[in-house]
Amino acid sequence: MSEHPAPTINLAARIALPIGTRIVRAAYGARRLTLTYPYVVSCVLLTLAFLALAQAVSSHIGVPIRDPEGALLGKRMVSPILLMGLFAYLDSLRRAFRQRQGGAEMGLVRLSVAIFRERWWWKRLAIAIVGFMSFAFTYLAYRNLKSFVSLINYRSYDQELLALDRWLAFGHDPATVLHDLLGTGFSAHALSWMYLVYIPLVAVTVSAALAFVERMREAFVFVATYMWCWILGTASYYAIPTLGPFFTRNRLFSDLPHTNVERVQNSLIDHRIMLIADNLGENRVGGIAGFASLHVGVVVACLLLMRYYRQRALTIITAVFLVPTTVATIYFGWHFLVDDVAGAFIGWFAFMLGRATVYPRLLMIWKRRASRAVHHERPTVAS
């Protein structure tokens, strides 16, 4: 009876087989995710690319990426997500009330809970959280890149924009004109409140969009638009670095009363000084950049989004809110006139890019329309 040698066991092959299987399964899962939720993948990739840019600039100048105020990745992220959950239940309560009016026999509370559980199944909840986190991490990169401007490029275009402001205002300072026109009493406090309420409203509107918009893909148009506002705004800061009239010509605002806007401006100046003096020792993030105005840009984007969602009442409210917001940017010296014009353009362009991010086929449609327009405008040559 002949003895056969025991088969040699290739340990590497046994280990490699499961790894290869895992890779194939991961690739299949990624492809399925891309095909099923392409808008989620697009927003996440856009966020990662912007974070990578922030990390590259951070490594170049030797300043670490920081959490603004030490709260963005903590309570300032958790609170809007919890608020989104509250909005989602209020939306379910609204739907339950309508069903009760249509003849549903179940109690209002029980019906609203049932609708909430059916509508907010785990995939929808996970997608909504991913959407908000994409927005939040894009904002994190934006705040750091905005802070890095003062450490990279000390060339300021404030004097050129000041001259342009005076030319556009027929030889006057636009801020002074507004002070004379509106006064420096009640108007200052009212505009201060209107200007600063914008800050929490940004996160609130994102939470509301993710909760109330019927289809999650449509809600991601809102998320992607805001993300592009941060990205395009950052590009404008590096293209034309400015500090704004309140920093370069603070005497124009010496007659204004003490407001919360003044407190914020003084805090930003202190942070900028500390950042430049010791950019590694203090956990500070600077935030002074004039061109372009993202207060105007984000509100314009929100206005276009409300119109896109066919929310007539909210469109009117946003349009009304845009007026004092724009006035406040000049009144307190945050921005030059051209900053607001550029901010409005950024808001429109961010809205277009936000739609294209969620619906890439729009790019092909717009390309066909542009080619047709060029074809029709092309002059014919007589034979």
* The predicted structure's pLDDT at residue 321: 93
Q: Look at residue 318 in the predicted model and tell me its pLDDT.
A: 93
User: Per the structure block, which two tokens stand in for 204?
Assistant: 């609130």
User: CA angle, 89 as apex, 86 and 91 as ends, to 5°?
Assistant: 110
Q: Give the residue from 68, 43, 74, 378 showing the smallest Cα distance to 210.
A: 43
Read off the tokens for 306: 């409300």
Query: For each of the chain's 383 residues, which pLDDT tens digit applies?
Result: 445 555 544 545 545 556 656 555 555 455 565 666 788 888 999 999 999 999 998 888 887 787 776 566 666 677 888 888 888 888 888 888 888 777 777 777 788 888 888 888 778 888 888 999 999 899 989 988 888 887 776 678 878 888 888 888 888 888 888 888 888 888 888 999 988 888 888 889 999 999 888 888 999 999 999 999 999 999 998 888 888 888 888 888 888 888 888 888 777 777 777 776 665 545 566 666 778 888 999 999 999 999 999 999 999 999 999 999 999 998 888 888 899 999 999 999 999 999 999 988 766 665 566 556 555 555 444 43
CA gap 225, 106 in Å, rounded? 39
Q: How many CB atoms lie within 10 A of CB 71?
A: 12
| Plot region of 69 (φ>0 → left; ψ -120 to 50 → alpha; else → beta) | left
Q: Which amino acid is at 85?
A: G
- Per-residue tokens: 180: 């004379």
Instruction: Give the distance from CA 332 to its chain's centroid.
Output: 23
What is the Cα–Cα distance from 335 to 341, expressed in whole angstroms?
A: 10
CA distance 92 to 104: 14
